[in-house]
Amino acid sequence: MAAEVLSQAGVKVDLYDAMPSVGRKFLMAGKGGMNITHSEPFDQFLSRYGSGKAHIKPLLDAFGSEALRAWLQALGVETFVGSSGKVFPVDMKAAPLLRAWLHRLRVDGVSFHMRHQWLGWDDGLLRFLTPEGENKVSADAVVLALGGGSWARLGSTGAWVSLLAQQGIAVDPLKPSNCGFDVEWSEFFRNRFAGQPLKSVQASFSLSAEAEFCQPGELIVTADGVEGSLIYKMSALLREQIASTGAALIYLDLAPGKDKQYLIDRISAPRGKHTMANHLRKRIGIDGVKAGLLREVLLKEDFDNPVRLCEAIKALPVKLVAARPIDEAISTAGGITFEALDPHLMIRAMPGVFCAGEMLDWEAPTGGYLLTACFACGRVAGEGALSWLQCDDFAAGKLVSTEELQIK
């Protein structure tokens, strides 16, 4: 996005990437359906960024969900709104979008340099490690968009953290976000149910009176614990709770939409010759991994007490003991603090160096929020770099739009 803003204004742009091709994590994000953004109202959309929403708001004001959809349409990519409010390209794919975008950038004169791993600076020059050895580059302005620290094989290694810390830039440690969590399953449960989805449940968790979570959805039982969209939505709260107390307790409603008394009445009926497993299945539709979870958490005698059993069905405690490793996470929290940046996303201590995307200290759940904010960061950083290069108004703190600069 930064390269597009700059090149369309006539600036010579060189784009360096450590990988053999660009956009690898972007393509991975589109695997199974390219959820590019979300259609919900702005205030609700903004709330998804949690404690970082005050920093993200100016970026989304400049280039939000509607602007992104218009930008895609201009690129020749039509979008539609799914039943959940998520926005997708009509063909649901990331690759055609990326190809069209790269073609337009090349037509605008952007030069791409692959297999260039950034090593920091040497006397003001950018250092890159290439297959031919080290290369040093002089630039009038620099935009860093180096990603977080997850999925290192796609390029976002987090190696930049030490490079900026060496320059005295404030960087909060990278942490996993949109990640799974470890649960100390029994060997039997792990072997029997790992990989199975837990559908039609509701998860609740309370960090404090001000930070409560209660939403329906589904998750996946893994050999190590739990993951999936419902877990990702509360990953920030869970991660902070574990960091504070060593564990986090979530409660799963295995029968949402059915009140406790209804379940008690159903389960209290004589079961005759039926096993408890068959009784649960026939009377209240609890079987498979849900029944396995009950046996994992409850004592044997709890199954003979309808009240205690149904209380567990409506609020089954599951103890999470650790977040999964950062490289398994979909995204990361932490990064360059916004206090270290000016409103144009320029590093205050390094004039002419701008930062964008996941390397900044913000996080959001999946659902189009991550990509939208990354697009917005790139746009604002590109306009900031353009103002730095071409406009005296930058020094006065005025962010000038591309259109205004072209007129000037």
pLDDT at 34: 92
Per residue in 90-143, pLDDT tens?
Answer: 999 999 999 999 999 999 999 999 999 999 999 999 999 999 999 999 999 999
**Mean pLDDT value across residues 7-17:** 96
Burial 62-91 (b: 16+ CB within 10 A, else e): ebbbebbbebbeeeebebeeeeeebbbbee
Does the pLDDT value for residue 392 go beyond 70? Answer: no
Question: Do residues 280 and 381 share a domain?
Answer: no
What is the structure's pLDDT at 206?
86
Q: What is the CATH number of the domain that holds 105?
A: 3.50.50.60
Domain end residue (candidates: 323, 349, 381) = 323
Domain of 54, in residue numbers: 2-176+329-407
Q: 275 — phi, psi (to 5°)?
A: -70, 165
> 94 by DSSP, 3-state: which?
coil
377 and 345 in a single domain? The answer is: yes
pLDDT at position 403 is 44
Q: Are 370 and 37 in contact (CB under 8 A)?
A: no
Is 65 a residue whose pLDDT tops 50? yes
**Pairwise CA distance, residues 218 & 229, whole Å:** 7
Which two tokens mark 312?
């567990």
Pair (374, 302) in one structural domain: no
The answer to whether residues 187 and 157 belong to one domain is: no
- Cβ-based neighbours of 57, under 8 Å, separated by 6 or more: 46
Q: Are 252 and 368 members of one domain?
A: no
Q: Residues 344, 266: one domain?
A: no
According to the model, what pLDDT value does residue 400 have? 45
pLDDT per residue over 129-169, tens digit each? 999 999 999 999 999 999 999 999 999 999 999 999 999 99
> For residues 3 and 278, what is the distance between their CA atoms, to the nearest angstrom?
61
The number of angstroms, rounded, from the C-alpha of 355 to the middle of its chain's C-alpha atoms is: 18
Percent of the chain clearing pLDDT 90 (strictly above): 88
Same domain, 100 and 210: no
Q: Considering only CA atoms, which of 199, 265, 186 is closest in space to residue 229?
A: 199
Q: Which residues contact 70 (CB under 8 A, 6 or more apart)?
A: none
Q: Is the dihedral of CA 86, 363, 235, 163 positive or negative?
A: positive
Taking alpha carbons only, the member of 341, 331, 336 closest to residue 381 is: 341
3-class secondary-structure state, position 177: strand
Which pLDDT belongs to residue 32? Answer: 77
Q: Choose one of 295, 323, 351: the last residue of a domain.
A: 323
Structurally, the chain folds into a number of domains equal to 2
pLDDT bin (cut points 50, 70, 90) of residue 33 is confident
Facing residues of 354 across strands? 143, 346
Residues 300 and 336 in one domain: no
pLDDT band at 211 (very low <50, low <70, confident <90, very high): low
Greater confidence (393 vs 315) lies with 315
334 in Cβ contact with 173 (< 8 Å): yes
Percent of the chain predicted with pLDDT > 70: 95
Q: Are residues 11 and 155 in the same domain?
A: yes
pLDDT of residue 30: 81
Q: Which of 323, 347, 370 is the last residue of a domain?
A: 323
Across the range 44-54, mean pLDDT stands at: 94
291 and 307, same domain (yes or no): yes
Residues 69-74, mean pLDDT to the nearest whole number: 96
Question: Region 57-70: what's the mean pLDDT?
Answer: 97
Task: Quote the tokens at residue 289.
Answer: 């991994």
Let me know whether 92 and 157 are in one domain: yes
Token pair in block for residue 332 = 């990361």
